[in-house]
Amino acid sequence: MHIPVNFDPKSWQDFEPHYQALLRVTLTPANLSEWLRRGSQLEKYVWEIHAGCKRARSWNFEDESVRQSYQRFIDEIFVPFQEISHALQTKLLHEMTWEADAEYVEMIRRFQQAVDAYQVKNVPLERDIAELMDRYLLITRSIEHRCEEATPQQCSKEERWRIHQTYWHQERDKIDEIFLAMLSKRRQLARQAGFPSYTLYRWKQLSRSDYTPAEALAFHQTLAASISPVKTALQQSYAQDHQQRPWEVGQAPRELMSPLSFQRNADFEAAMAQVFSHLDSEMGTMFERMRVGFLDLDARSGKLPGSEEWFFPISGLPCVRVFSNGTDEDVQLLMHECGHAWHDFLSFAHQELTWQCDVPGEFQEFAAISMTYLATPFLFQDQGGFYPVSERARFQAFLLYEPLRWLPYIARFDVFEHWLYTEAPEAVSAAQLDAKWMELSQQFEPDVNWSKYEYECAHGWQQDGRIFGQPFYMLEYALAHMGALQLYQNACIDHRAAWQVYREALALGGTRRLPDLFQAAGVDFPLLPGVVKSVTDFLAATLEN
Ligand SMILES: [Zn+2]
């Protein structure tokens, strides 16, 4: 049953006969490629609808009708799609008794991992978790609103931070309740799928077969120990004998940041279009196309906070949301999200099947963070950009402060999650979560002075949505930074060559194992011995210059 050229599915009834036809085929070496192509094409339509619902929802998060249509998509299309996808994967693994072609090996390995982690009875639990996440997001939006109203225009960072803490504090019981319910449901997911812990279940779900949870924990210890002295040295060079206070940790030091001069977002977009087209004309064209309906850089009420990228596989275009604040951070976030965009764009252009574009999260973040380094030379006026050349050293130090600021926090965050899902008692209380979070603050971020704010420190975990929505994801940023800094080092020697291998590695999509993807981009897999040391030495030397 061929998919018609004018296929325009609106409901599961439009998809189902095509999926049923795929289930009826007996697979042979001769018909496998065509069978995969048809399945992939159907799946692209599902993701296209998903991308549209997601765009509407994230651009108008408080619009009830938009939220309802997103939920309708999940219930009526996405849930049956997940069930039938599982059936198709199981069928393929069962019937394919011959050796797979090289181009399919990695995809089939991931199918096996997905089948091992999947349980039909887990679908309602996943749905419950998604609803809890929605409740959390609504609470955080309402906190943000109330803070905006209560914060005077002229207000110090410290005062602003204190107002935030007051409103977070008012919701803390509700947030505790949401998280403890999520935790219990996640443990249930693991048990139902036959795993001894949610950590191991999640490892399988994320297809992490190139390193173990124990290696991840050891990596955090090494990383935190080698990065902390570099961070302290840089901070001391700006403000001697000053210990960071809680309201100073979220951003780079004041000396490294600057407001942007654009009056309108359209001007900012146009300037960044120039940057990307000087970097690579094909990327510039992609960005120009995104400017019509696939790019949202406003800071407005009702829009989902944060920044994100996702792909429309039928339209062949990425979509990016950034919540601008009028500083250098907008440039950095947009470059980051456009790194994801470029990655998806190249993967889908070069790989035929949608599953060949499923890239491990570690390498996705590598692509995004690397873009911030690779696009930077074109931000300056001597290469057609908008920043005066005199701003170069400051902006580069601002960019390099990011791994210093982030990596100790990521280590703390990830170690917290390992504790949550592996060691914490079954009946863990909110007070125990707070105590652990605080203990890890002292271990991984001893340079931050929380005195008089110990209470606020203890609840800090509630303010990071990734604990709620993306368990164990933070490690991926740490590995990605270690890879991206190596690529930056290569680009300092030969930018054109570094860009070329980066581009080629991105176009591989997910057709190689994780260490091979890093190698294809010209960098060492971050968990190899000695990589952390050599990267932090490079970072320290670059910051000293
Ligand atoms: Zn990212």
- 179-214 pLDDT tens trace: 999 999 999 999 999 999 999 999 999 989 999 999
pLDDT of 455 over the 90 cut = no
Q: At what angle do helices 495-507 and 328-350 cross, to 10 degrees?
A: 50
Q: Which two tokens stand for residue 520?
A: 């294809």
40 in any annotated domain: yes
Q: How far is the CA of 28 from the centre of ligand 1 (A)?
A: 39
Q: How far is the CA of 194 from the centre of ligand 1 (A)?
A: 31
Q: How far is the CA of 52 from the centre of ligand 1 (A)?
A: 20
Q: How far is the CA of 174 from the centre of ligand 1 (A)?
A: 29
Q: How far is the CA of 537 from the centre of ligand 1 (A)?
A: 25
104 in any annotated domain: no
17 in any annotated domain: yes
Q: How far is the CA of 370 from the centre of ligand 1 (A)?
A: 11
Q: How far is the CA of 476 from the centre of ligand 1 (A)?
A: 9
67 in any annotated domain: yes
Q: Which two tokens stand for residue 300?
A: 């407005």
The pLDDT tens digits for 78-131 are: 989 999 999 999 999 999 999 999 999 999 999 999 898 888 889 899 989 999
The answer to whether 297 and 324 have CB atoms below 8 angstroms apart is: yes
Edge-to-edge order in the sheet of strand 317-321: 295-296, 317-321, 308-312
The pLDDT tens digits for 378-388 are: 999 999 999 99
The pLDDT tens digits for 254-284 are: 888 899 989 889 999 999 999 999 999 999 9
| Burial of 276 from C-beta contacts in 10 A (0-12 / 13-18 / 19+) | buried
pLDDT of 2 over the 90 cut = no
345 in any annotated domain: no
pLDDT at 484: 98
pLDDT of 239 over the 80 cut = no
Q: How far is the CA of 339 from the centre of ligand 1 (A)?
A: 8
pLDDT at 44: 97
CA distance 411 to 475: 8
Local confidence band at 1 (pLDDT 50, 70, 90 cut-offs): low
Q: How far is the CA of 23 from the centre of ligand 1 (A)?
A: 36
Q: How far is the CA of 365 from the centre of ligand 1 (A)?
A: 5
Judged by DSSP in three states, 308 sits in strand
Q: How far is the CA of 153 from the centre of ligand 1 (A)?
A: 31
Q: How far is the CA of 368 from the centre of ligand 1 (A)?
A: 6
Q: How far is the CA of 479 from the centre of ligand 1 (A)?
A: 12
Q: pTM of the predicted model, to two decimals?
A: 0.92
The pLDDT tens digits for 162-171 are: 999 999 999 9
Q: How far is the CA of 416 from the centre of ligand 1 (A)?
A: 21
Q: How far is the CA of 311 from the centre of ligand 1 (A)?
A: 13
Local confidence band at 62 (pLDDT 50, 70, 90 cut-offs): confident
Q: How far is the CA of 95 from the centre of ligand 1 (A)?
A: 37
224 in any annotated domain: no
Above pLDDT 90, what percent of the chain? 78
Q: How far is the CA of 226 from the centre of ligand 1 (A)?
A: 24
Alpha carbon 29 to chain centroid distance? 37
Q: How far is the CA of 161 from the centre of ligand 1 (A)?
A: 25
Q: How far is the CA of 406 from the centre of ligand 1 (A)?
A: 13
pLDDT at 101: 92
pLDDT at 301: 82
CA distance 334 to 60: 20
Q: How far is the CA of 340 from the centre of ligand 1 (A)?
A: 7
Q: How far is the CA of 91 from the centre of ligand 1 (A)?
A: 34
pLDDT of 240 over the 90 cut = no
Number of structural domains (the chain) is: 1
Q: How far is the CA of 325 from the centre of ligand 1 (A)?
A: 18
Judged by DSSP in three states, 296 sits in strand
Residue range of the domain that includes 21: 12-99
Q: How far is the CA of 40 from the centre of ligand 1 (A)?
A: 25
Q: How far is the CA of 338 from the centre of ligand 1 (A)?
A: 9
Local confidence band at 311 (pLDDT 50, 70, 90 cut-offs): very high
- Is the four-CA dihedral 69, 70, 71, 77 of positive or negative sign? positive
**In this predicted structure, which of 238-247, 269-278, 327-336, 406-415 has the lowest mean pLDDT?**
238-247
Q: How far is the CA of 101 from the centre of ligand 1 (A)?
A: 31
Q: How far is the CA of 135 from the centre of ligand 1 (A)?
A: 23
| Residue carrying structure tokens 């390498």 | 363
What values do phi and psi take at 442, rounded to 5?
-65, -35
pLDDT at 92: 97
390 in any annotated domain: no
The pLDDT tens digits for 5-35 are: 889 999 999 999 999 999 999 999 999 999 9
Q: How far is the CA of 253 from the centre of ligand 1 (A)?
A: 22
Mean pLDDT (the chain) is 93
Q: Which residues surround ligand 1, an ion (CB under 5 A)?
A: 365, 368
Q: How far is the CA of 26 from the centre of ligand 1 (A)?
A: 40
The pLDDT tens digits for 467-508 are: 999 999 999 999 999 999 999 999 999 999 999 999 999 999
pLDDT: which is higher, 391 or 145: 391
Q: How far is the CA of 305 from the centre of ligand 1 (A)?
A: 14
Q: How far is the CA of 318 from the centre of ligand 1 (A)?
A: 13
Q: How far is the CA of 104 from the centre of ligand 1 (A)?
A: 26
Measured CA angle at 168 (ends 423, 142), to 5 deg: 120
User: Across the strands, what pairs with 321?
Assistant: 296, 308
pLDDT of 241 over the 80 cut = no
Q: How far is the CA of 122 from the centre of ligand 1 (A)?
A: 27
Q: How far is the CA of 308 from the centre of ligand 1 (A)?
A: 7
33 in any annotated domain: yes
pLDDT at 413: 94
Tell me which amino acid residue 52 is: G
In total, the chain counts a number of residues equal to 545
Q: How far is the CA of 336 from the centre of ligand 1 (A)?
A: 6
